[in-house]
Structure 1
Amino acid sequence: MPTSAEWLVFLGASALFAILPGPGVLYVLARSLRGGRADGVRSVVGNGIGASLHVLAAALGLSAVLATSATAFTVVKLAGAAYLVYLGVRALLDRNAGEVAVPAARPRRSALRQGVVVEALNPKTALFFLAFLPHFVHRGEVPAAVVFVVLGLIVVAMAMAVDLLVAFFAGALSRLVAAHPRWQVRERIGSGLTMIGLGGALALAER
């Protein structure tokens, strides 16, 4: 486990990672504005699950493949970018979203599922855990893989806490948007373009 001094560095760096906007938090923002606080919270849980998968993959050494294989990194990156663009285009074409805050016919669980996919297909998250966590894992009585997972889940929990704040504030704004049809249309277009932009940025991202 990290020493006392290393814990301060670890928690400070983890807080910075949680605060910096990325595809996950921006997806939560867009989803909360469109579907309200409930959808926002579901998307946060989805992001947390997706990030936890990266932690487990890194602990098992699978994320090393992304770090060493340009092909694997590109495949995952383009898959994530394509999914974000797909979500953005669907938001732009979903004209019913301009009439109600959350379409009744749309399953609530889609927010959670989409959050999992968005974060799981973000190779930057995998590389972050692979590059960051080993600095705080030392040989000792506790197996290194267990320490790695524990530290990774702490990072995920901190990121989820920030995402929840975004979901609650954006969810409150969605109620104001719901009272103005024109703003609903603008919000739908803005959310769609945001996700398409995120997809484009992820597609152009370098390791």
Structure 2
Amino acid sequence: MLTAFASFALFALLVTVVPGPDTLLVLRNCVRGGRLPGIATALGAAVGSLVWAVAAAVGLAAALHRWDAAFAVVRMAGAAYLVLLGAQALWAHRRSASNGADTTAAPPEGLAPTTFLAFRQGLLSCLLNPKVGLFFVAVAPQFLPEGASVLSVTLIFGVIDAVIAAGWLILVAVFAARLLSWLRRPRVNTALERATGGVLVVLGLGTAAETL
């Protein structure tokens, strides 16, 4: 049993460290508001992952995958949310730049998210990504020990994955917070905002294209 948990943990770690929407949101919110919003975003994404694990454990994720219409609706909602976040990032930064805001010491006024808003963004980003649920449906059975309870073991896998996701993303937030003075330099901040917003828009459009 311990071998199965350790193997799943290693696999989950390898998947988690690959940059995705959650990592981009953590970086963006950390640069805008500091360490706490970054950590809040990380915790929101981890909670969302745990919710998907519970859904997979009771078979909801698998049922959603079989029900094409519902699956498409969730994916399109997730795609729209990513495009919205990306567009907001691009527009807000363009507006602040046109107003001559100085980003060397603090984020432009109105861009810094509250802790609650950052948590909600991380949570929704994960909840609106059905691929997270399908990850558990497709991967968890590969690590299930023979004769083990599918429900209980999948739930444990979900906790392991959530802890790993939270730990990694919090490390990203802490590391980014240590580099805030550099990340908030006008050129670096402009490049980061444009890259983050652009990637989120592309990810959202890509998800929508796959759904159509």
Q: 1:160 to 1:116 in 2, by over 3 A?
A: same
What is the correspondence of 1:6-85 to structure 2 with a 5 Å cutoff?
6-85=4-83
Question: For residue 23 of structure 1, what is the amino acid of its counterpart?
Answer: P
Given the alignment of the two structures, is residue 145 of structure 1 paired with residue 151 of structure 2, yes or no? yes
Q: 1:127 aligns with which of 130, 134, 137?
A: 134
Kept after mapping to 1: 8 A contact 2:12/2:164: yes
Q: Deviations for 1:129-170, whole angstroms, at most 9, x for unmatched residues?
A: 111112333435xx5322211111101211222212211222
User: How many equivalent residue pairs?
Assistant: 201
Distance across 2 between alignment mates of 1:172 and 1:155: 26
Given the alignment of the two structures, is residue 162 of structure 1 paired with residue 162 of structure 2, yes or no? no
Q: Deviations for 1:16-59, whole angstroms, at most 9, x for unmatched residues?
A: 11222222222222322333222111100110111111011111
Aligned to 2:121: 114
Distance across 2 between alignment mates of 1:7 and 1:47: 21
In the alignment, structure 2 segments of 5+ residues that lack a partner are none
Kept after mapping to 2: 8 A contact 1:34/1:188: no
Q: 2:200 aligns with which of 192, 195, 202?
A: 195
Worse-superposed segment, 103-112 or 38-47? 103-112
Worse-superposed segment, 22-31 or 39-48? 22-31
Q: Deviations for 1:58-91, whole angstroms, at most 9, x for unmatched residues?
A: 1111101232122222211111110011111111
Distance across 2 between alignment mates of 1:189 and 1:73: 30
Kept after mapping to 1: 8 A contact 2:96/2:108: no
Aligned-pair Cα RMSD in Å: 2.4
Distance across 2 between alignment mates of 1:7 and 1:150: 8
Q: Deviations for 1:109-148, whole angstroms, at most 9, x for unmatched residues?
A: 11100110000011111100111112333435xx532221
Worse-superposed segment, 126-135 or 195-204? 195-204
| TM norm structure 1 | 0.84
Residue 201 of structure 1: SS of its match in structure 2?
helix
In the alignment, structure 1 segments of 5+ residues that lack a partner are none
Distance across 2 between alignment mates of 1:189 and 1:36: 19
